[in-house]
Amino acid sequence: MNWHRVWAVTRTDLRQLMKSRDYWMPMALLAVLFFVVVPIVALNVIAGAQDSNVVTQIGAVLETLPLTIQENIRGDTPEVRAAFAIAVYLLAPIAIVVPLTIAAAVGSNTIVGERERGTGEFLAHSPITEREIYAGKLLAALIPGYGATLAGFGVYSVLVNVIVGPQLGGWFFPTSGWWVLILWVVPPAIAIALSLIVRISARVQSAAAAQQAASLVSLPVIVVAYAVASGLVYDPARTGLITGLVAWIIAYVGLASGSRALRREILLGIGIKSAKRVTIPRN
Amino acid sequence: MPDPAIIFRRVGRRFGDIQAVRDLDLEIAAGSVAVLLGPNGAGKTTTVRLATGALQADDGDIRVLGMDPRVDGTDIRKASGVVPPKAAFYDRLSGQENLEFAADMWELGSEAPIAKAAERFGISHALDQEVGGYSTGMRTRLALARAILHDPTILLLDEPTAGLDPESARAVLDLIREMAGQGRTILMCTHLLHEAEGIADQVVLMNEGHAWVAGPPDHLADTYWTDTRVHFDAEDRSALAGLVDLDGVVSHSVNGHVTVELDHLDRLPDIVAHLVESGARLTRVEPVQPTLEELYFEMQRHRRRQVDLT
């Protein structure tokens, strides 16, 4: 694997993405919505509410949770406890949704984009290997996805600490569950989705079809990831580590299989359905 | 005769039900210019793709610079420059960034002669502009610069002048002549016959994925050109009036000069001797030589006759 060429592919895709404002602007808005707007509105409403029905109802829900979880919810008043629960347990799994959505949007266009532009022909005639192309494309989708996670995570941390922190006696976020989620579970979750999406991108006839198919694939992955993430923030230590480990294994298998499936013929826009791999022994 | 740089032996490649290339035999000498002629769908593009290993053959054997594209494809591609039929680039990036990407693919590092290549094809002024704003001619020039950036041993050009203005088309043909002069091996696909005129060491006529005829243009003209017309002219054109009555003259026409069609070109020495003896001071005796286009259509007619016979 020639990492210089891999990075050249990644850098070129990222440069194009950066220059395609119409493409990244909706994704940026999505991140802002989930990491900034929703937390500000939700937390301000809850933390500032006095004896409202919402707070009462949230309080009732919290009392139904297992005792071990209830013990982790901090705060002296129902409003603060509700705000803490929302900040840590309800909005946290967004960290999964946003990067997966961004990575799916970028990833779906990778291979089919080369074909549609015709640049796949250049790549096919160049010395780069199929594995290097695959790795480069994967990184090009993973970097904005995970980058959005980290940036969003940082902004979100500041916001919740500013809004709810003073009532909890200081900086309370991120919690250990968040660290496990962001550093151990989110990367393989994105990789699993991308292993499917890049493969789809290599198989379909157009970028539009790739985006449609990517939505179909990424939606269940997002739902599963959201469910897993929700569980992880309740019980981060053992469950998080095990879930992350399983996710890494699935991601590895998916990526290895995906890299083998990419052939030069696909870059040329032919053999998408009928091409067969011809292997002959080395002399 | 130098060793062949590109060899195809009974190569076949199928796409579903379509046999794109079948039993293709091809031999291109190192340092020569070969032109694949043929209509759209003849298999020319597939041949280029098979040569670099971008596509793999279903049958047969290919050797490029002595290497098998299925095994040593990366090494072959390192030594090859390709100008594809569509000059495709990352349109949001500048010409400079696109060339840098190509330089990265060939691991040229910071020594990549980007400025030199751009200057060679007259696009230095546009290197900082997004390629999306380039004209067709500029895109082709950029594609040429990209193809020679790594100083390839083999240059493969697939319909390189399609849709180009005359100036850009000339840049392509000049590049071919220049690189041929430097001993590079060049394979060009085209269906524009006049392009191959004067630059081809070897012409390969392709049709339905098969090389029907191959050889130097002169040899092909000798073999397939059956035109027996001869142009005559003289200081006093009236001295040629008697041509029409001579033995072996089938037809006769006057169009600035006199053109006669003979039953066989072997008649020509006797006819010239007769004219000289009768006092004609000849200024022109020129058997009609085919243009590549005329030769192409003659070879096509010959091929169809062969197909009909079989």
Share of chain A above pLDDT 90, in %: 16
What's the pLDDT score for residue B124? Answer: 92
Q: Which carries the bigger pLDDT value, residue B198 or residue B27?
A: B27
Which candidate from A127, A273, A274 shows the least CB-CB separation from B74? Answer: A127
CA distance B42 to B144: 24
Nearest to B16 among A12, A124, A274 (CB): A274
What is chain A's mean pLDDT, rounded? 81
- Closest chain B residue by Cα to residue A21: B92
* pLDDT per position as a tens digit, B147-193: 999 999 999 999 888 777 777 788 788 888 888 888 899 999 887 66
Task: Determine if the peptide bond prior to B287 is cis (ω within 30°).
Answer: no
The β-bridge partners of A160 are none
Residues of B in contact with A265 (CB under 8 A): 54-56
Domain range summary for chain B, segments of one domain joined by +: 4-216, 226-287
- Per DSSP, helices labelled H in chain A are 3-19, 21-32, 38-48, 53-63, 67-72, 78-85, 94-107, 110-117, 119-125, 130-163, 165-168, 176-180, 186-203, 207-234, 237-261, 264-267
Q: What is the pLDDT of residue A197?
A: 83
| Tokens 């003849």 found at | B42
- Kindly report the average pLDDT of chain B as a whole number: 87
Pick the residue with more confidence: A259 or A217? A259
* Tokens encoding A111: 């291979």
Question: How far does the CA of residue A212 sit from the closest CA of chain B (Å)?
Answer: 23
**What CATH number belongs to B226-287?**
3.30.70.100
Mean pLDDT of B202-225: 81
Residues contacting B139, CB < 8 A, separation 6+: B87, B89, B131
Across the interface, whether the CB atoms of A265 and B56 are under 8 A apart is answered: yes
- How far, rounded to the nearest angstrom, does the alpha carbon of residue A234 sit from its chain's CA centroid? 20
pTM over 0.95: no
Residue-wise pLDDT for B80-133, tens only, equals 999 998 889 999 999 999 999 999 999 998 888 999 999 988 899 999 999 999
Could you tell me the two tokens for A104?
A: 């799916």
B230-268 b/e with 16+ CB inside 10 Å = b? bebbbeeeebbeebeeeebbeebeeeeebbbebeeeebb
* Mean pLDDT along residues A171-190: 82
The answer to whether A278 and B58 are in contact (CB under 8 A) is yes
What is the Cβ-side half-sphere exposure of residue A263, based on CA atoms within 13 angstroms? 20
By C-alpha distance, the chain B residue nearest A277 is B56
Confidence of residue B145 (pLDDT cuts 50, 70, 90): very high
- DSSP conformation letters of A141-164: HHHHHHHHHHHHHHHHHHHHHHHT
Residue A275's pLDDT is what? 41
Angle between helices A207-234 and A186-203 (to 10 degrees): 160
The CA-atom distances, in angstroms, between A151 and each of A18, A48, B266 are 16, 27, 87
Overall average pLDDT of the B258-285 stretch = 87
Give CA–CA dist A50/A60, Å, rounded: 16
Q: Count residue pairs from A and B with Cβ separation < 8 A.
A: 93
Contact between B74 and A129 using a beta-carbon 8 Å cutoff? yes
Q: For chain B, which residues lie within 8 Å of any Cβ of chain A, measuring from their own Cβ? A: 15-16, 49, 52-58, 70-71, 74-75, 77-78, 80, 82, 84, 86, 88-93, 97, 101-102, 104-107, 130, 146, 156
Using the beta-carbon criterion (under 8 Å), do A122 and B86 form an inter-chain contact? no
Confidence at residue A3, expressed as pLDDT on a 0 to 100 scale: 93
Chain B residues whose CB is inside 8 A of the A280 CB are: 70-71
Residue in chain A lying closest to B82 (CA):
A125
Please judge whether A268 and B77 are an interchain contact, meaning their C-beta atoms are less than 8 angstroms apart: no
Q: Which of A11, A18, A121 is the mutation pick for testing B, counting most B CBs within 10 A? A: A121
Q: Is the pLDDT of residue A190 over 50?
A: yes
When pLDDT is cut at 50, 70 and 90, the band that residue A158 belongs to is: very high
Confidence band of A218 (pLDDT split at 50, 70, 90): low
Of the pLDDT bands very low, low, confident and very high (cuts 50, 70, 90), residue A272 is low
CB contact (8 A) between residue B56 and residue A278: yes
CA pair distance B47, B53, nearest whole angstrom: 10
With beta carbons less than 8 A apart as the criterion, state whether A265 and B55 touch: yes
Is the pLDDT score of A95 beyond 70?
A: no
**Three-class SS string for B207-266?**
ECCEEEEEECHHHHHHHHCCCCEEEEEECCHHHHHHHHHCCCEEEEEEECEEEEEECCHH
d(CA A98, CA B244): 89
Report ipTM (2 d.p.). 0.80
B163 neighbors B85 (Cβ within 8 angstroms):
no
Q: Does residue A224 register a pLDDT over 80? A: no
Amino acid at B255: N
Tell me yes or no: is domain B4-216 CATH 3.40.50.300: yes
- To the nearest whole Å, the CA of B159 is away from the closest chain A CA by 14
Report whether B214 contacts B202 (CB < 8 A). Answer: yes
